[in-house]
Amino acid sequence: MTKLQNAIVGGVRAVIGHVPASWLPGGTPDPLIDKRVALGGQQTRIDGPDKVRGAARFAAEVPMKNLLYASFVHSAIARGRIADLDVSAAEAAPGVALVMTHHNAPKMAVPPPIGMTNLKAAGNHTLPIMQDAKIRWNGQVVAVVLAETREQADHAATLIRVGYEAVQARTQFEEGKASAYTPDSMLVEKNRLDKGNAGQKLAEAAFKIDAVYTTPWENHNPIEPHASTIVWQDGKLIVHDATQMIHGTAGSLAKIFGLKVGDVQVSSPYVGGGFGAKGLWDHQILGVAAAKLADRPVRVALSRASMHRLIGGRTQTEQRVALAADADGTLKALLHHGYGVKPLHSICDEGFSLTGRSLYACESFDIVQHYVDLDLLANSFMRGPGETPGTFAIECAMDELAHAIGMDPIELRRRNVATRDPVSGAPHSQSAMMEAYDLGAARFGWHRRMAQPGMRREGEWLIGMGCASGTFPFMRMPGTSVRVTIDNSGDVHVASAAHEMGMGTATVQRQHAADRLGLPLDRVTVTIGDSSLPFASFAGGSSQTASLAAAISAASGKLVAELLRLAGNDTPLAGLKPAEVEFADGGLRGVEDPARNESFASILRRSGRAELSVVGESGAPLEIIKYSMHSTSANFCELRVSEVTGEIRVNRLVGAFDCGRILNARTATSQFKGGMIMGLGMALTEETLLDERSGRIMSTSLADYHVPVHLDVPDIDILWTDIPDPRTPLGARGIGEIGTTGVAAAIANAVFNATGKRVRDLPLTLDKLL
Amino acid sequence: MTPLTYIRASDRADALARAGSDGRFLGGGTNLVDLLRQNVERASALVDISSLDGAIRESESGGLFIDASVKNTALAAHPLVRSRYPVLARALLAGASAQIRNMATVGGNILQRTRCMYFYDVDGARCNKRQPGAGCDALYGFNRYHAILGASDQCVATHPSDMCVALAMLDAVIHLSGAAGERQVPLTDFHVLPGDTPQIETVLKSGDLITAVELPPPSDATVNSEYRKVRDRSSYAFALISVAGGLALADGQVAQARIALGGVAAKPWRARRAEQALVGRAPTPDAFLAAIREDLIDARPLSGNSFKIGLVERTMVAVLTALAGTNA
Ligand SMILES: Cc1cc2nc3c(=O)[nH]c(=O)nc-3n(C[C@H](O)[C@H](O)[C@H](O)COP(=O)(O)OP(=O)(O)OC[C@H]3O[C@@H](n4cnc5c(N)ncnc54)[C@H](O)[C@@H]3O)c2cc1C
Percent helix, strand and coil across chain A, each rounded to 5? 30, 25, 45
Beta carbons of A628 and A356 less than 8 angstroms apart: no
pLDDT of A2 above 70:
no
d(CA A375, CA A144): 22
Closest residue on chain B to A710 (Cα) = B235
Q: What angle do CA A587, A590, A594 make, to 5 degrees?
A: 85
Considering only CA atoms, which of A318, A285, A176, A279 is closest in space to residue A695? A176
Give yes or no: residues A469 and A507 share one domain. Answer: no
Domain assignment present for A41: no
Q: What is the DSSP string of B36-101?
A: HHTTSS--SEEEE-TTS---EEE-TTSSEEEETT-BHHHHHH-HHHHHH-HHHHHHHHTSS-HHHH
Give yes or no: residues A262 and A344 share one domain. Answer: no
Which element (helix H / strand E) includes B184? Answer: strand B181-186
Contact (CB<8Å) B311/A711: no
Give yes or no: residues A351 and A379 share one domain. Answer: yes
Distance from CA of A650 to the nearest CA of B (A): 10
Interface mutation target, options A647, A651, A682, A698, chain B, most CBs of B under 10 Å: A698
Burial class (CB in 10 A: 0-12, 13-18, 19+), A678: buried
- The pLDDT of residue A23 is 47
The letter for the amino acid at A213 is Y
Mean pLDDT of A242-267: 98
Mean pLDDT of A640-646: 98
ipTM value for the complex: 0.97
Domain tally for chain B? 2
The letter for the amino acid at A592 is E
Burial class (CB in 10 A: 0-12, 13-18, 19+), A179: exposed
Give yes or no: residues A525 and A433 share one domain. Answer: no
Residue B156 — very low, low, confident or very high, per pLDDT cuts 50/70/90?
Answer: very high
The pairing of beta strand A227-233 with beta strand A298-301: antiparallel
Give yes or no: residues A383 and A489 share one domain. Answer: no
Give yes or no: residues A502 and A601 share one domain. Answer: yes
Domain assignment present for B304: yes
- Strand segments, DSSP code E, in A627-759 are 630-642, 648-658, 690-691, 696-697, 715-720
Query: Taken in order A746, A749, A755, A759, is the CA torsion positive or negative?
Result: positive
Q: Which residues of A touch B37 (CB under 8 A)?
A: 154
pLDDT of A9 above 60:
no
Residue A116 — very low, low, confident or very high, per pLDDT cuts 50/70/90?
Answer: confident
Closest residue on chain A to B313 (Cα) = A644
Q: What angle do CA B274, B280, B281 make, to 5 degrees?
A: 70
Burial class (CB in 10 A: 0-12, 13-18, 19+), A185: middle
- Strand segments, DSSP code E, in A87-137 are 96-100, 134-135
Neighbours of A37 (CB within 10 A): 14
The letter for the amino acid at A417 is V
**In this structure, what DSSP letter does residue A386 have?**
T
- The pLDDT of residue A18 is 46
- The pLDDT of residue A15 is 47
Considering only CA atoms, which of A77, A100, A97, A105 is closest in space to residue A160? A100
Domain assignment present for A89: yes
d(CA A591, CA A582): 6
Domain assignment present for A358: yes
Angle between helical axes of A387-405 and A743-755 (0-180°, round to 10)? 30
Query: What residues does A587 pair with on adjacent strands?
Result: A584, A599
Distance from CA of A691 to the nearest CA of B (A): 7
Q: Which residues of B touch A138 (CB under 8 A)?
A: 124
Which element (helix H / strand E) includes B312? Answer: helix B307-327
Residue A446 — very low, low, confident or very high, per pLDDT cuts 50/70/90?
Answer: very high
Q: Which residues of A touch B1 (CB under 8 A)?
A: 151, 154-155, 158
Contact (CB<8Å) A709/B115: no
Domain assignment present for A611: yes
Identify which has the larger pLDDT, A23 or A93: A93
Closest residue on chain A to B305 (Cα) = A767
Distance from residue B115's CA to the centre of ligand 1 (Å): 11
Query: What residues does A298 pair with on adjacent strands?
Result: A68, A230
Give yes or no: residues A424 and A512 share one domain. Answer: no
Domain assignment present for B277: yes
The letter for the amino acid at B115 is R
- Which atom of ligand 1 has the smallest separation from the CA of B30? 26
Ligand 1 within 6 A of B95 CB?
yes
Segment B281-320, tens digit of pLDDT: 999 999 999 999 999 999 999 999 999 999 999 999 999 9
Give yes or no: residues A412 and A436 share one domain. Answer: yes
- The pLDDT of residue B144 is 97
Residue B22 — very low, low, confident or very high, per pLDDT cuts 50/70/90?
Answer: confident
d(CA A650, CA B234): 10
pLDDT of B21 above 90:
no
- The pLDDT of residue A10 is 53
Between B2, B144, B233, which is nearest A684 by CB?
Answer: B233
- The pLDDT of residue A37 is 93
SS3 letters across B276-288: HHHCCCCCCHHHH
Domain assignment present for A112: yes
Catalytic residue list contains A737: yes
**Residues 6 or more apart from A78 whose CB is under 8 A from it?**
A135, A137, A138, A166, A169, A171, A375, A376, A694, A695, A696
Where is the domain boundary, A602, A620, A638?
A620
Where is the domain boundary, A620, A640, A663?
A620
Q: What is the CATH number of the domain that holds A77?
A: 3.90.1170.50
Q: What is the CATH number of the domain that holds B46?
A: 3.30.43.10
- Determine the structural domain holding residue A303 and report its residue range: 59-168+223-273+278-310
Query: What residues does B47 pair with on adjacent strands?
Result: B7, B25
Question: With b meaning 16 or more CB within 10 Å and e meaning fewer, what string describes B173-209?
Answer: bbbbbbeeeeeebebbebbbbbeeebeebbebeebbb
- The pLDDT of residue B307 is 98
- The pLDDT of residue A26 is 59
Segment A514-527, tens digit of pLDDT: 999 999 999 999 99
Interface mutation target, options A152, A160, A691, A693, chain B, most CBs of B under 10 Å: A691
Give yes or no: residues A98 and A234 share one domain. Answer: yes
Query: Taken in order A168, A174, A177, A178, is the CA torsion positive or negative?
Result: negative
Domain assignment present for B319: yes
Mean confidence (pLDDT) of chain B: 96
Where is the domain boundary, A620, A641, A670?
A620
- Strand segments, DSSP code E, in A432-514 are 456-458, 461-473, 481-487, 492-496
- Return the residue whose CA atom lies nearest to atom 43 of ligand 1: B209
What values do phi and psi take at A556, rounded to 5?
Answer: -65, -35
Lowest mean pLDDT of A69-73, A536-540, B141-145, B189-193, name the range. A536-540
Query: What residues does A589 pair with on adjacent strands?
Result: A582, A597
Beta carbons of A758 and A404 less than 8 angstroms apart: no
Query: What residues does B135 pair with on adjacent strands?
Result: none
Contact (CB<8Å) B230/A647: yes
Contact (CB<8Å) A712/B235: yes
First to last CA, chain A: 44
pLDDT of A305 above 50:
yes
Domain assignment present for A178: no
Domain tally for chain A? 3
Neighbours of B132 (CB within 10 A): 14
- The pLDDT of residue A5 is 47
Domain assignment present for B41: yes
Query: Taken in order A579, A581, A582, A587, is the CA torsion positive or negative?
Result: negative
C-alpha dist (Å) from residue A715 to A90, A533, A651, A656: 52, 40, 7, 14
Segment B217-269, tens digit of pLDDT: 999 999 999 999 999 999 999 999 999 999 999 999 999 999 999 999 999 99
The letter for the amino acid at A531 is S
- The pLDDT of residue A25 is 58
A161 and chain B in contact, CB less than 8 A: no
Domain assignment present for A92: yes
What values do phi and psi take at A227, rounded to 5?
Answer: -155, 150
The letter for the amino acid at A753 is N
- Determine the structural domain holding residue B259 and report its residue range: 220-327
Domain assignment present for B174: no
Distance from residue A684's CA to the centre of ligand 1 (Å): 27
Domain assignment present for B292: yes
pLDDT of A3 above 60:
no
Could you give the 3-state DSSP secondary structure of residue A204? Answer: helix
Mean pLDDT of A653-667: 98
- Which atom of ligand 1 has the smallest separation from the CA of B231? 8
- Which atom of ligand 1 has the smallest separation from the CA of B211? 41
C-alpha dist (Å) from residue A553 to A89, A366, A499, A560, A615: 60, 41, 19, 11, 10
Burial class (CB in 10 A: 0-12, 13-18, 19+), A520: exposed
C-alpha dist (Å) from residue B137 to A11, B133, B134: 54, 12, 9
Mean confidence (pLDDT) of chain A: 95
Could you give the 3-state DSSP secondary structure of residue A107? Answer: coil
Q: What is the CATH number of the domain that holds B240?
A: 3.30.390.50
Neighbours of A543 (CB within 10 A): 23
- The pLDDT of residue A413 is 98
Q: What is the CATH number of the domain that holds A610?
A: 3.30.365.10
Between B3, B117, B233, which is nearest A155 by CB?
Answer: B3
Domain assignment present for A363: yes
- The pLDDT of residue A12 is 52
Distance from CA of A139 to the nearest CA of B (A): 9
C-alpha dist (Å) from residue A124 to A92, A280, A345: 35, 7, 8
Between B2, B137, B234, which is nearest A155 by CB?
Answer: B2
Could you give the 3-state DSSP secondary structure of residue A153? Answer: helix
Segment A548-562, tens digit of pLDDT: 999 999 999 999 999
Ligand 1 within 6 A of B30 CB?
yes
State the virtual CA torsion across A159, A163, A167, A171 in degrees, nearest 10. 10
Distance from CA of A512 to the nearest CA of B (A): 41
Domain assignment present for B17: yes
644-703 in A: which are within 8 Å (CB) of B?
644-647, 649, 684-685, 689, 691, 693-694, 696, 698-701, 703
For the whole model, what pTM was predicted? 0.97
